[in-house]
Structure 1
Amino acid sequence: MFEFNIFNRDEDADRGQVGIGTLIVFIAMVLVAAIAAGVLVNTAGFLQATAEEAGQESVDKVTNRVEVINQHGTVGQSDKIKRLNLTVRLAAGSSSVNMNTTSIKYLSDGTVTTLTNNSDGPTPDATQFGLTEVRDDDTSFGVLNSRDDRYEVAIDTAAIEGGDGLDTGARVQLDITSQTGGTTQVILTMPQQLAGQEENEPVKL
């Protein structure tokens, strides 16, 4: 009439130990998954930030540059060009360009040099270009921050080349590079005929 359930304490203990072991393994798997997810999220964030930074640098190299809107030379002795003058403004779509940190690579048939801005004044020499304000609406001379701003860049070819300057027909390449890497390339060819031109007379290039 009566049934007795006989419990095996050893078997119950074994089952309990197996259950606890499974729970520990499960918790460990959850922790590992959580750590892995955190690492992936951090890595994704880092990669995104790096990609955005690289993208902005690429944009700056394309957009942050100047545009040359006029150029002429100045006649020196022996029918040579002793100075180059370039009128520059911001290129379309460019943000501000600081001419104080802009460099100009000068390349001719016999000379290669890099010029920096002469912060002491507008007079150029063998290692520096001169900068003169033509138009600057907000008195921020040195920094082109509007398409209405105009600066004149002067390059002393006589000092750079030695002697009296560039011969007739000579060719010069100028790479104007802003601090962010935006570059404008200008190729100038000296007039084929300067005979009869007076010294210090400007000539169109």
Structure 2
Amino acid sequence: MFENITEDRGQVGIGTLIVFIAMVLVAAIAAGVLVNTAGFLQATAEDAGQQSVNKVTNRVDVVSVHGVVNASSPSTVDNVNLTVRLAAGSGSVSLNNTSIKYLSADTATTLTNNNSVTADNINWENATTDEFAVRKIADDDTSFPILNGQADRFEVVINTSVVEGTSKNGLQTGESVTLEITSRNGGTSQVILTMPQQLAGKEDGDPVAL
């Protein structure tokens, strides 16, 4: 009787050992999966956080805006000029990789920088309805068209007579346009402009505050 009990206990001990080893292996595999998953989630969270920071900080500020009069009948503003600089705390922003969402009563489009009309003296002959131009005002380190310092000042020029279509020759008195300037990283600045009432009597090329 005692011999049979001894044999049973030995069999139970081996089975328990096998189960224990299996549990250890499963726990080790699970731990490895958890560590890998935690690392992946941490990296994803860091990337998402950096992207969110870039969208808030990497953008431009609009310092001033003026229009240029086209003394047609009726008189219109056919150029909108925006002086821009880096927003506080922003990294470098390339205006080559910046887009502008243009929204008026008659037109909705997205404008991109056209290098063929980017010069100190802008020629719009080859410009299309979805383009803007850039010229430098202040650029100490010749980074144009990349804003990389608070001292940099560039001018964004939108020919509204091209964007709106030649039938309108630009924006008329009282009309409004909304501009959303978005950098490559997603940082956005918005400006809403209303054309002034004192366009009548102005000559071609006269500047007006917007």
Say yes or no: TM over 0.5: yes
Between the aligned residues of both structures, percent identity stands at: 64
User: Following superposition of structure 1 onto structure 2, how do residues 62-81 of structure 1 map, counting pairs within 5 Å?
Assistant: 62-78=56-72, 79-81=75-77
Q: Which residue of 2 aligns with 1:3?
A: none
Higher Cα radius of gyration: 1
- Correspondence for 1:168: 173
Quote the residue 2:52 is aligned against.
Answer: 58
Aligned pairs, how many? 199
Does residue 115 in structure 1 map to residue 108 in structure 2?
no
AA at the equivalent of 1:57:
Q
1:101-125 Cα distance to aligned partner (Å, 9 max, x none): 1000111111111100011232453
Do structure 1's residue 17 and structure 2's residue 11 form an aligned pair? yes
CA distance in 2, matches of 1:18, 1:80: 96
Structure 1 distance, partners of 2:206, 2:71, is 11
Supply the distance in 1 between the matched residues of 2:148 and 2:25 (Cα, whole angstroms): 54
TM-score, scaled relative to structure 1: 0.92
Counterpart-to-counterpart distance in 2, 1:127 and 1:36: 55
Separation in 1 of the partners of 2:117 and 2:202?
28
| Partner-residue secondary structure (3-state), 1:120 | helix
- Whether the 8 Å contact between 2:79 and 2:159 is mirrored in structure 1 is yes
Q: What is the CA deviation profile of residues 39-88 of structure 1, one whole-angstrom value per residue up to 9, with x for unaligned ones?
A: 11111111111111111111111111100001100001321111000000
Partner of 2:154: 151
The answer as to 2:36 corresponding to 1:34 is no
In structure 2, the gaps of 5 or more residues are none
Larger mean CA deviation between 170-179 and 30-39 belongs to 30-39
Distance 1:73 1:114 in 2: 20
In the TM superposition, residue 202 of structure 1 has moved relative to its aligned partner by: 1.0
How big is the shift at 1:176?
Answer: 0.3
Letter aligned with residue 193 of structure 2: L
Q: Deviation above 4 Å: which 4+ runs of structure 1? A: none
2:133 alignment partner, one of 110, 130, 136: 130
RMSD of equivalent CA atoms: 1.5
CA deviation profile, 1:92-142 (whole Å, cap 9, x unmatched): 111111110100011111111110001123245321100001111211111
Give structure 1 stretches of 5+ with no counterpart: 1-5
| Cα distance in 1 between the residues matched to 2:105 and 2:156 | 21
Distance in 1, Cα, partners of 2:21 & 2:31? 15
